[in-house]
Structure formats: C-alpha cells, structure tokens
Amino acid sequence: MRAPRDKFGRPVVVVTGMGMVTSLGAGKTDNWAKLTAGESGIRTLTRFPIEGLKTTMAGTIDFIPVEPFTSVGLSERLAELAIEEAIAQAGIGRKGDFPGPLFLAVPPVEIEWPQREELGRAVGITDFSYDDLVSAAGGGKFVGYHHRFVMGSVADYISATFGTKGSPISLSTACASGATAIQLGVEAIRRGETDVALCAGTEASVNQEGLVRFSLLSALSTQNDPPQAASKPFSKNRDGFVMAEGAGALVLESYEAAVARGAPILGIVAGCGELTDSFHRTRSSPDGKPIIGCMLKTLVDAGMTPEQIDHINAHGTATPENDKMEYQTTSTVFGERAKQIPVTSNKSMVGHTISAAGAVEAVISLLTLEHQRIPPTINYEIPDPTIQFDVVGNKARDAKVTAVMSNSFGFGGQNASLILTREPA
C-alpha cells in the first residue's frame, strides 16, 4: 500500500476508469488493437458535399447513429459512450448516481446549418431578412432547438444521465481542453472537495462550416489522397492537421478512496501544468518559453525531474509550425535525451480530436503504461531532418514505460501538460 499523499502532502490522484471513442472505433479494446497495428481512422468525407473544399478528408465517426443528426448531438453521444465505459470499469456509484462532479471539455455549441435552413424555409417567403428569421423562430415550434443549441446542453444531458453532483462545468481551452478537464478534476480532489471526479472531453465538429473555418486559417492538411496518409506528424512533407471526432473519459479518485473500495488502479495523474502564451492568437511564441514553462511547471507539480520521463505523447498536430516548435521546446526541457525518449503523435492515426484530444491522448498514454507497448507515429516516410525525435515510426514498440508526459498546445495560446505514471512517484 502506497502513501495516500504525495510529497507535497496532497491526496494522490489515481485513475480508476477510462473510456474512449475515435474514428478507429468505440471502446478501448478496439482502439488499442488498431492503434498498435498502426491503422488510420481518416477517410474521405461522405457526410456532406465536398465540392468547393480544399480539404476533403477527416476522422469522422460515422458508425454511431444520431437521429436527427447534429454535430452537438453526436458530441453528446460520444461523451456518453466514453463515460459509460469509464464508469463501468471503475465500478463506482450506481446507475444515474455518480458521487462526484463533472468536468466536460466541449466544442463551442451553436445552431447548425440544417436547422438554420429549416428555419429559413419556415419563414415562408423568398427574399427574407434576418429579422424574418428571428420572427419565425418564436412561437414554440422550435423550443427543442434552444435546449439543443445552448452551450451547456451536452453537460446538462451528461450530468442528468449519469447523476453527477453539483453544477456541471463545460469548458474550453481549444486543443488543450481535454487536458484542462482532467486538471480541474485533479485540483478538486487535491483540495479535498471530493473523492472522485468525472473528467471527459468530446468533439464532433466535422461539419461544413467547421471544416471551412479551419481551412480558411490554412491549418488543415490538403493531402487528401490517400486520406490515411494525410496526417504526417514530424515528417518533412507535413502540411497541417486533420480534423477528427472522438471522446475520452477518465474517472479520477483519491488513492485512499480507491483503495478503500478495492477499485482498479489504472494509473496515477502525477502532475498537471498549464501556462498561457501571449504572443499570437494561433501561433506560439518563437522562443517557445510558454511551452517550455508549461512542461517545467508540470514536472515541478509532479515532483519529478525530466530524467524520469520515459515517453512523451506529443501534441504532434502535423502543422509545419507546431512540430518544429515541439522539437525545439522538448529539446530545451529534456536536453540530449529529447533525441532518445520515444515521442509519438496519436494524431497520426486518430487525427486531431480538438476538444477531446487531451482526454483521448491521456487514455492512450495510460493504455501504453498498462500494456508496456508504444503505439507508433504513422505516415513517417520522409523524416524532417531538423526534428530529431525517435517518433516510433510506423510500427508499435514494446518498451519499459514508467512515466508519460502528455502535451496539448492550443489555439489562443493555451498550453497544458499531464504526467501519468503507473505507480505513485
């Protein structure tokens, strides 16, 4: 039995349940099999017309039906599936009664085009103004659209379904959101507010406007053919990220509470750190200081040194800039070891799951610790000679892994890192 408190006197936070859904499949088992086989979930888009688009592929989740279809409805269903799996594994609470708070990373919610078009037809005349649309919205026919398209709608459903306690929190820190959800849970347990927290991230924004928005910022890969090869983190010919859908969920508990009820201990959240970049809305500071600072802060929070990290689950979006910045900053923190520590990008296979990424990748990091096997960075055919990472190219590798740093660096300068271990540090 380990000490229930860490070296700073805080309750040790453990993971007792995990769940995930990605374009590779639903559930940890299917995902792990495909991740270690180096498979890609990226496909040519069939969900909507692709004429006029520069990027025509994504990691959509088309095997989960949602009727009537909305992106927010799909993100809700994905969160539900991932959370169901996590809670079932943790064996905690009862159906509809989860004994802790909910921290849920979600994409911003808004009315979507099919519903907007439905409203446009409901106006009943041609050549209408936006005022006519607003008029047509009232009168009660579309009450469900208010509830569906307010920001809090997904967390409302999830908290009602799973019976989480208190006011559910919906959050966003762009691409770092999933990690932030986990960090909020860790902090609440460390404060002694709760013994258990449900932390999840979900993303299902592959719709026409979602794709166009990122495309207009030149952030997306346009290497559409073959789609499976588009996401090329750390490669010389990388050209941007691939949008994807997914959800990841963790049940976090204090070590003491987990042991007391005989819960499975799947791993430890040894440390979390976060630091904001004030340089630019989409680009990192060229000196890398906020990202370096974020990683260092996380090591300090975990009470660990860089030498103790034996695997990095990178942000690895495959944008020309991120991957270069990631090597530069990782080298600063880890020195020469940056060339030796396996540094991989799950996004090569599941794409960029944006609001879910931090959570999905935390689950994959924990599975890596469990199986002592590192999923590869695929599509690594032409290495970028200036990025001297050992990316575990193309084929999974058995390795001794004791501590994983999982990094997420978001639009708007929000950087977050987690350190996950098997045993308390």
Of 337, 411, 424, 425, the residue at the interface with another protein (CB under 8 A) is 411
Closest by CA position to 29, among listed 70, 79, 69, 88: 88
The one catalytic residue in 146, 175, 294, 311 is: 175
The one catalytic residue in 280, 311, 315, 371 is: 315
Burial class (CB in 10 A: 0-12, 13-18, 19+), 40: buried
CA dist., res. 306 & res. 318, Å (int): 24
For another protein, what does the binding mask look like between residues 168 and 197, x meaning CB under 8 A?
A: xxxxxxx--x--x---x--xx-xxxx----
Burial class (CB in 10 A: 0-12, 13-18, 19+), 80: buried
Q: How many CB atoms lie within 10 A of CB 162?
A: 21
Determine, following the binding rule CB under 8 A, whether residue 37 of this chain makes contact with another protein.
no
**93 Rama class: left (phi>0) / alpha (psi -120 to 50) / beta:** left
Whether 315 sits among the annotated catalytic residues: the reply is yes
3-state secondary structure of 327: helix
Of 33, 68, 91, 167, the residue at the interface with another protein (CB under 8 A) is 167
Amino acid residing at 247: A
Q: How far is the CB of 238 from another protein (least distance, A)?
A: 21
Of 149, 256, 259, 303, the residue at the interface with another protein (CB under 8 A) is 149
Of 137, 259, 296, 425, the residue at the interface with another protein (CB under 8 A) is 137
Determine, following the binding rule CB under 8 A, whether residue 296 of this chain makes contact with another protein.
no
Whether 199 sits among the annotated catalytic residues: the reply is no
Of 37, 64, 123, 259, the residue at the interface with another protein (CB under 8 A) is 123
Q: How far is the CB of 414 from another protein (least distance, A)?
A: 5
Burial class (CB in 10 A: 0-12, 13-18, 19+), 146: exposed
Whether 311 sits among the annotated catalytic residues: the reply is no
197's tokens: 């927290």
Q: Under a CB-based contact definition with an 8 Å cutoff, are residues 256 and 11 in contact? A: yes
Q: How far is the CB of 322 from another protein (least distance, A)?
A: 16
Determine, following the binding rule CB under 8 A, whether residue 52 of this chain makes contact with another protein.
yes
Q: How far is the CB of 165 from another protein (least distance, A)?
A: 9
Determine, following the binding rule CB under 8 A, whether residue 408 of this chain makes contact with another protein.
no
Give the footprint of another protein on residues 362-381 (CB under 8 A). Answer: none
Give the footprint of another protein on residues 253-292 (CB under 8 A). Answer: 274-282, 290
Give the footprint of another protein on residues 76-115 (CB under 8 A). Answer: 106, 108-111, 113
Determine, following the binding rule CB under 8 A, whether residue 53 of this chain makes contact with another protein.
yes
171's tokens: 């959050």
Q: Identify which of residues 115 and 402 has a Cβ nearer to another protein in the complex.
A: 115
The total number of residues written for the chain in this structure: 425
Of 33, 91, 97, 128, the residue at the interface with another protein (CB under 8 A) is 128
The one catalytic residue in 272, 311, 352, 371 is: 352
Determine, following the binding rule CB under 8 A, whether residue 300 of this chain makes contact with another protein.
no
Strand partners, 197: 252
Of 46, 65, 95, 139, the residue at the interface with another protein (CB under 8 A) is 139
Q: How many residues bind another protein (CB under 8 A)?
A: 86
Of 50, 259, 296, 425, the residue at the interface with another protein (CB under 8 A) is 50
Q: How far is the CB of 317 from another protein (least distance, A)?
A: 17
**Residue indicated by tokens 């994504």:** 58
DSSP string, 300-331: HHHT--GGG--EEE------HHHHHHHHHHHH
Helix (H) or strand (E) holding 177: helix 177-190
Give the footprint of another protein on residues 192-221 (CB under 8 A). Answer: 192-193, 208-209, 212-217
Sign of the Cα torsion 285, 288, 291, 293 reads negative
Cα within 13 Å of Cα(403), Cβ side: 21
**Catalytic residue numbers?**
175, 315, 352
